[in-house]
Amino acid sequence: MKVIGVIPGKKESAHIIDVDKPEISSSEVRVKVLRVGICGTDHEIDQGLYGEAPEGEDFLILGHESLGIVEETGRDVKGFEKGDMVVSTVRRPCPENCLNCRSGENDMCLTGNFKERGIKSLHGFMAEYYKEIPEYLVKIPEELSDVGVLLEPLSIVEKAIMQTFKIQERMKWKPKTALVLGAGPIGLLATFVLRDMGINTYTLALDSIDSKKARLVMESGASYIDSTKEPIPELGEKLGNIDFILEATGSSTVSFQAMDILGINGVLALTGITGGDKKLEVDADRLNLSLVLGNKLIFGSVNANITYFRKGVKHMQNFEVKWPGLLSKLISRKVVFEDFKEALLRKKDDIKVIIEIGK
Ligand SMILES: [Zn+2]
Ligand SMILES: [Zn+2]
């Protein structure tokens, strides 16, 4: 079968490789891949900045955002059958099997020695087929076949938001106003989840008010803010008490600006991966004072375990009822397998690019 592999550490090394179709054991499932989404992590891996091949191999099959269809199940597999549509989770427990990994929370791994399919020490899903054990597979209802490939990025959002509510059990909390920073796939998906929860949501990005991203934000009933016209520091006054901020721009400067406008008892969830070494001068006394006097909370959130994938499926179904077709508009470009190099190029107006692999 054909797969798209990279030589980790080597720039723009993605190429098609022929490998054997995976054989399954009695406890495994073989999945035929339908499509795979591309994100910033894939770009970084293709740029040689990130990524690790499985032990003893010299290439890594890319791809961690997938949608596939069960082709065959081992005889001991229960709960899945041929024809089921599935998405696989990404992270696998560390060899030490730390407290969190053995509790089904490998997204909270303590050792950092976890593996990740398509990213770190395990092959990904840019392949005609992959195999997996059922405990890492999530069933996708038929009506979500066009958008199921967005479940992995949605799981990242689900984790940040579900953890926010869990953390806020420290008090009575009814968030009225949320601010989402960034309108890439994470920012847009967060906007939809917050709107589905009935929260008054503002989503900010650099694009103009008549851009596609702005339209998608507004179609969900959220308000769009063009940050070139209304800078973040001014929003604290304009929006009133901001109960929740989700940062998804990938800029550490934005994260610090967000701390400064967070409301009383508010939560700031940080999801941006900032690989650089930027230094920033901050208004430390004032910032510290406002965090303390306002009982404010800042936390980071990465990856997601299967609980959040399952929650994401429910939200996707809600989205389709409330805003039919809106979710599929996030898929801005579809590329066929052979043209994978095109998919790995960043283009203006890209939101989510996917590679069509099978039918
Ligand atoms: Zn991703
Ligand atoms: Zn662990």
**In the predicted structure, residue 89 carries a pLDDT above the cut 90:** yes
Compute the distance from residue 212 Cα to the ligand 2 centre, in Å. 40
CA distance 313 to 293: 38
Q: Across residues 96-106, what is the average pLDDT?
A: 97
CA distance 87 to 139: 7
Q: Measuring CA to CA, how many Å separate 67 from each of 25, 35, 85, 140, 303? A: 22, 6, 7, 9, 18
> What local confidence, expressed as pLDDT, does residue 57 receive?
97
> Using 50, 70 and 90 to split pLDDT, how confident is the model at 348?
confident
Of the candidates 42, 29, 28, the residue with the CA atom closest to the CA atom of residue 124 = 42
Please give the mean pLDDT across all residues of the chain: 97
Percent of the chain with pLDDT over 70: 100
Compute the distance from residue 256 Cα to the ligand 1 centre, in Å. 24
Compute the distance from residue 3 Cα to the ligand 1 centre, in Å. 18
Percent of the chain with pLDDT over 90: 98
On whether the CB atoms of residues 58 and 41 are closer than 8 A, the answer is: no
Q: C-alpha dihedral over 187, 161, 110, 126, to 10 degrees? A: -40
Q: Across residues 259-284, what is the average pLDDT?
A: 95
Compute the distance from residue 29 Cα to the ligand 1 centre, in Å. 23
Q: C-alpha dihedral over 79, 85, 87, 93, to 10 degrees? A: 20
Residue in the block written with tokens 């290439």: 59
Compute the distance from residue 117 Cα to the ligand 2 centre, in Å. 15
Query: Is the backbone of residue 226 left (phi > 0), alpha (psi -120 to 50) or beta?
Result: beta
Domains, the chain, in order of start with CATH, read: 2-139+326-356 (3.90.180.10), 155-300 (3.40.50.720)
Question: How close are the terminal C-alpha atoms of the chain, in Å?
Answer: 15
Residue in the block written with tokens 């769009």: 224
Ligand number with the minimum distance to the CA of 98: 2
> What local confidence, expressed as pLDDT, does residue 173 receive?
97
Ligand number with the minimum distance to the CA of 271: 1
Residues 139-181 have pLDDT tens digits of 999 999 999 999 999 999 999 999 999 999 999 999 999 999 9
Compute the distance from residue 312 Cα to the ligand 1 centre, in Å. 15
Compute the distance from residue 94 Cα to the ligand 1 centre, in Å. 20
**In the predicted structure, residue 182 carries a pLDDT above the cut 90:** yes
CA distance 123 to 107: 18
Compute the distance from residue 300 Cα to the ligand 2 centre, in Å. 17
> Using 50, 70 and 90 to split pLDDT, how confident is the model at 275?
confident
> What local confidence, expressed as pLDDT, does residue 191 receive?
98
> What local confidence, expressed as pLDDT, does residue 177 receive?
98
* Bridge partner residues of 2 (DSSP): 18
> Using 50, 70 and 90 to split pLDDT, how confident is the model at 276?
confident
Residues 203-255 have pLDDT tens digits of 999 999 999 999 999 999 999 999 999 999 999 999 999 999 999 999 999 99
Ligand number with the minimum distance to the CA of 91: 2
Ligand number with the minimum distance to the CA of 95: 2
